[in-house]
Structure 1
Amino acid sequence: MPRINVIIPAYNEEKSIQKVIRDIPATGIDDIIVVDNNSADNTFAAAAAAGATVLKEPRQGYGQACLTGIAYALNKPASHQPDVIVFLDGDYSDHPEELPQLVKPILENKADLVIGSRALGNRQQGAMTPQQIFGNWLATTLLKYLYGAHFTDLGPFRAIRTDKLVQLGMADRNYGWTVEMQVKAAKQKLRCVEVPVTYRKRIGFSKISGTVKGTFMAGYKIILTIFRYL
C-alpha cells in the first residue's frame, strides 16, 4: 500500500486546524504534518492535540512552510518515506474528506500530479473573491498559451508523487508556490490531471485575499513566476 503524507501549512489557524485534521480519512494516511508558520495563536497546540505531527517554522511564507514539511518527510528512514504527498490548507476551506478522490489517479498510475480544481467543482458562493477568480483565470490562461498546460485552477488542495516532487526542485517561499509547481510540472511533462473539489468559505481571515496588499503581492508573484520559467 503506498504511503501518503499530508502537509498542512498553517498560520493562525487554531479555530480551524482541528476540523481539518479530523476530516482527513484515516485509511491510507501515514502522517499528517502541520507546519506552524510562526503563528501568534495556539495553532501548534491545537494541531498536536488533534494527533498531527507539528513542526515549527518561524520563517513566514506559504512556500517556506511547504518546503519545511517536505524536508521532514524526506528525512524519514527510507522505509517510512511517503510515496505520495498531499498539500492541504489549514483554514477548512477545502473538504479533507475528498482526499481519496484526489489521490486516486496517482494510485492508479494515471497521473503524477493532481490538482483539486475549485473551478470544476462545487464552490460555495463567496468562498473566493472576484480578484481570486480573475487571478486564477489569468494564470491558467497564461499557462495554457505559454506552456501548453491545461489547468483550470491553482488550487492549494493537490497531490503529487514524492519522486516527481523532488524532481521539480521546488524553491518558491511564498505566494508563487502553487503556480511554480504547475509551471515546472508542465515543463518536465509530468502527467497532470485535475479533479473537481468542493470549496467553502474559510474559517477566519485570509492573510492574502483578505488585504489589498496581500492580493497585489500574490498576483504579482504568480505572474512573475509564470514568466520566470519560460
Structure 2
Amino acid sequence: MPKSSQPTPAAPIDLILPCLNEARALPGVLGSLPPGVHAIVVDNGSTDSSAEVARASGAQVIVESRRGFGAAVQAGVMAATAEVVAICDADGSFDLAELGRVSGPVLAGEADLMLGRRRATNLRAWPVHARIANRVLSGLIRVRTGLELHDLGPMRAIRRAALLDLHLHDRRSGYPLEMVLRAHLAGLRVDEVPVSYRPRTGRSKVTGTLKGTLTAIADMTRMIKEIPS
C-alpha cells in the first residue's frame, strides 16, 4: 500500500516523478518546477537518499514497494488530487520549463492526452538502440491506431479522471503504451509536441542498457497484442 509523507495541497497540476535511485538528479529537477506544479515523487525501491532529498526539496513522497514504472506512476496517480496530472522521468533528462507545452493543451481542453516528443540535445541523450526501438514501436502504433505519433514520450499530461477511467493494468514498462492505446480506444484526443531531451544524470535503468531496452520492447509488444484494435 503506497504511503504518503505529507498531504497534497491544491495545485493546477500534480507532476508524478517515478524514482529509483535519483538522489543526484532530484535537486535540479525539483528546483526547476514551474509555478502551479506540485511534485509527487514516487520512491520505487531506492537504495540511495532519493526520498530524503525529495522531501528536503519540498516534494510529496510516496513509497511504492512493487517495482515497475507502471506501479510507480499508478501510485502517484492515486495520491494526486489535481484535475490534471503530468508524468515525467526524475533523472533530469527533461527541462521542466517546457512542461507547459505538454500540459497546456490539456488544461485548455484542446487535447485529452498530450505526449512530449523527444528531441535529443546531443547524441549522448538518447542511445541509438533506444531510438531504433522507439521508432519501431511508434510505427506499430501508427499502423494500429492511425495516430500520427513519433514517440512514446515519458513526459505526458492527462486529466486524472480520464486516466483513471482507462483502468490501466500493466505495472511495468508497458504502462506508457497501454495508456496511449486505451486512450485511443476510448476516443480521447491524443497528440504530441516537441520537447528537449538531455543526457540524464546517472545511468538509465531502461534505455541505458540493452537488457532494459529489450525488456521494455517485450512488455510493449505484449501490450499491442493484448489490446484490441
Instruction: Work out whether 1:21 is the aligned partner of 2:30.
Output: yes
Cross-structure match for 1:108: 108
Partner of 1:170, secondary structure, is coil
Counterpart in the other structure of 2:7: none
Give the whole-Å Cα distance in 2 for the aligned partners of 1:5 and 1:127.
Answer: 26
Report the Cα offset of residue 136 of structure 1.
1.1
Question: Residue 185 of structure 2 corresponds to which residue in structure 1?
Answer: 187
Partner of 1:24, secondary structure, is coil
Matched, 1:67 2:65: no
Give the deviation of 1:210 after TM superposition: 2.5
1:160 aligns with 2:158: yes
Structure 1 stretch displaced more, 197-206 or 143-152? 143-152
SS in 2 for 1:34: strand
After alignment, is 206-215 or 136-145 more displaced?
206-215
Letter in 1 for 2:146: G
Looking at structure 1, the residues matched to 99 and 123 of structure 2 have their Cα atoms a distance apart, in angstroms, of: 22
For residues 94 and 208 of structure 2, the distance between their equivalents in structure 1, rounded to whole angstroms, comes to: 17
Is 1:43 matched up with 2:41? no
CA deviation after TM superposition for structure 1 residue 122, in Å = 4.9
Q: RMSD in angstroms over aligned alpha carbons?
A: 1.4
Task: Go from structure 1 to structure 2 and tell me whether the alpha carbon gap of 1:179 and 1:224 turns closer, same or farther (over 3 Å shift).
Answer: same
Paired-residue identity, %: 36
Match of 1:227 in 2: 225
Determine the structure 1 residue equivalent to 2:61. Answer: 54
TM-superposed CA distance for 1:172, in Å, is: 1.1
Q: Which runs of 5+ in 2 are unaligned?
A: 1-9
Q: CA deviation at 1:109?
A: 1.1
Deviations 1:81-106 (A, max 9, x none): 21100001110001111111211111
- Counterparts of 1:185 and 1:132, CA distance in 2: 24
Matched, 1:7 2:16: yes
Deviates more, 1:174-183 or 1:212-221: 212-221
The match for 2:91 is: 91
- State the SS of the aligned residue for 1:69: helix
Q: Deviations over 1:114-157 (max 9, x none)?
A: 00001xx3532221111111111111111111122221101100
Distance in 2 (alpha carbons) for counterparts of 1:113 and 1:157 = 11
What is the rounded CA distance, in whole Å, between the counterparts of 2:129 and 2:186 in structure 1?
30
C-alpha separation between the residues in 2 aligned to 1:53 and 1:97?
20
Count how many residue pairs are aligned between Structure 1 and Structure 2.
219
Structure 1, unmatched stretches of 5+, are 74-80
Amino acid in structure 2 at the alignment position of 1:104: G
Q: In structure 2, how many angstroms separate the alpha carbons of the residues matched to 1:178 and 1:123?
A: 23
Residue 68 and residue 2 in structure 1: after superposition, are their counterparts in 2 closer, same or farther (change >3 A)?
closer
Amino acid at match of 1:28: G
Amino acid at match of 1:18: P
Deviation of the 1:2 alpha carbon: 7.3
Q: Residues 120 and 126 of structure 2 are in contact (CA less than 8 Å); yes or no, is this contact kept in structure 1?
A: no
Other structure's SS at 1:116 match: strand
Structure 1 length-normalised TM? 0.91
Kept in 1, the 8 Å contact 2:19–2:42? The answer is: yes
How far, CA to CA, are the matches of 1:86 and 1:103 in structure 2? Answer: 7
